[in-house]
Amino acid sequence: MQYGAFVISLDFELLWGVRDNRTIADYGANILGVREVIPALLDLFAERNIACTWATVGLLFFATNTAMRAALPARKPRYANARISSYHYLDEVGTDEEHDPYYFGLSLIKRILDHPAQEIGTHTFSHFYCLEEGGDIAAFRADLEAARTVAGRLGIKLSSIVFPRNQVAHLSVCRELGLRAFRGNERVWFHRARTCRWHGRYSRQPLSASGWKQCRVGAPAPAADHLGHGNGGPSPKAFSFMVAPAQFRRRFTGQLGVSARHPRLLPRLA
Ligand SMILES: [Zn+2]
């Protein structure tokens, strides 16, 4: 691609996206607001001929609690912090969308599909955290397979992903399951791996250069090319080096160039 493209991708998650931090009591009104905003946005997009990718949590694809429970992946993430798992909150999910507008979104998904130039992508099935301890690749594969299956029931072939909390990882699995595009991150410190390799441990391997390249978009998508990477976006290096906490602070305040002082912290990419 020779030219840049302005791309719109929106995360569609309702309460699943924030349940670890919020409750219906303190955030429910905002979630209900989504149900007004989406139709309004769709009208605006149609009027102005704007394409958009809706990165949708797979758990929103159901009409009933029974259907949801029947479609959960057998292999679930075993996060060290159980409270970040969507499955931790299954017991508070209502019977269906009519009775529980916070956890069900099928009617909204169908509404999106009724509008031109809108793409349904995935925000993983369960709002999966790839970089959290326990967000391993086997669980991620099972999660994405569940997302793909439930989307397939509506005739949707998923080809784009937005990683929850921007925790970009496991790109080989994405590629394996037919995804062609993901939303990249800006080159800013808070999107880099969080734990310090220098001080002994980190939760995830950095992305490999080959994984990155192979996950680049290869064909036009209906909504957009929707990539923050590959075509002028951040390089793989942006995601792959580990910065010690002290350096983090110095870097953030612009006092120290990490690469100049600590070359061993630079990415180990071929
Ligand atoms: Zn999210």
pLDDT of residue 6: 85
Half-sphere exposure of 193 (CA within 13 A, CB side): 26
Task: Kindly tell me the sign of the dihedral angle through the C-alpha atoms of 14, 36, 113, 45.
Answer: negative
A 10 A CB-CB count for 187 gives: 13
What is the pLDDT averaged over residues 15-36?
Answer: 97
The DSSP 8-state label assigned to residue 13 in this structure reads -
Best CA proximity match to 122, nearest among 174, 167, 176: 174
Per-residue pLDDT tens over the stretch 223-244? 323 333 333 333 333 333 333 3
pLDDT (0 to 100) of residue 268: 29
Quick one: pLDDT at residue 153?
Answer: 97
Cβ pair 77, 33 in contact under 8 A: no
Residues facing residue 119 across a β-bridge: 53
Q: Is the pLDDT of residue 67 over 70?
A: yes
- Which amino acid belongs to residue 67? A
Q: Which of 177, 181, 56 has its CA nearest to residue 120? A: 56
Mean pLDDT of 195-205: 40
Q: What pLDDT does 189 receive?
A: 67
Look at residue 184 in the predicted model and tell me its pLDDT.
87
Tokens linked to 71: 């479609």
Measured at the CA of 219, the angle between CA 214 and CA 223, to 5 degrees, comes to 120
Task: Say how many Å lie between the CA of residue 213 and the centre of ligand 1.
Answer: 24
At 50, is the pLDDT very low, low, confident or very high (cuts 50, 70, 90)?
very high
Q: Cα of 141 to ligand 1 centre, how many Å?
A: 18
Read off the pLDDT of residues 125-148 as tens digits, 9 standing for 90 and up: 999 999 999 999 999 999 999 999
CA of 17 from ligand 1 middle (Å) equals: 5
Radius of gyration of the chain (CA): 19
Q: How far is the CA of 184 from the centre of ligand 1 (A)?
A: 14
User: Judging by beta carbons within 10 Å of its beta carbon (0-12, 13-18, 19+), is residue 46 exposed, middle or buried?
Assistant: middle
Tell me the pLDDT tens digit for each residue of 211-224.
333 333 332 333 32
Whether 7 has a pLDDT exceeding 90, the answer reads no
- Specify the pLDDT at position 255: 30
Distance 262 CA to ligand 1 centre (A): 34
Q: Mean pLDDT throughout 21-30?
A: 96
**What mean pLDDT, rounded, does the chain reach?**
77
| Whether residue 96 has pLDDT greater than 60 | yes
The dihedral built from the CA positions of residue 168, 102, 109 and 140, taken in this order, carries a sign that is: positive
Q: Which range among 114-123, 159-168, 228-237, 257-266 shows the weakest confidence by mean pLDDT?
A: 257-266
CATH topology of domain 9-187+236-256: TIM Barrel (3.20.20)
Around ion ligand 1, residues with a beta carbon closer than 5 Å are 11, 13, 17, 164
DSSP annotation of 120: E
Alpha helix segments (H runs only) across 15-134: 24-48, 65-70, 106-113
Q: What is the pLDDT of residue 78?
A: 97
> Which has the higher per-residue pLDDT, 185 or 234?
185
CA of 157 to the centre of ligand 1 (A): 20
Domain range annotation of the chain: 9-187+236-256, 189-233
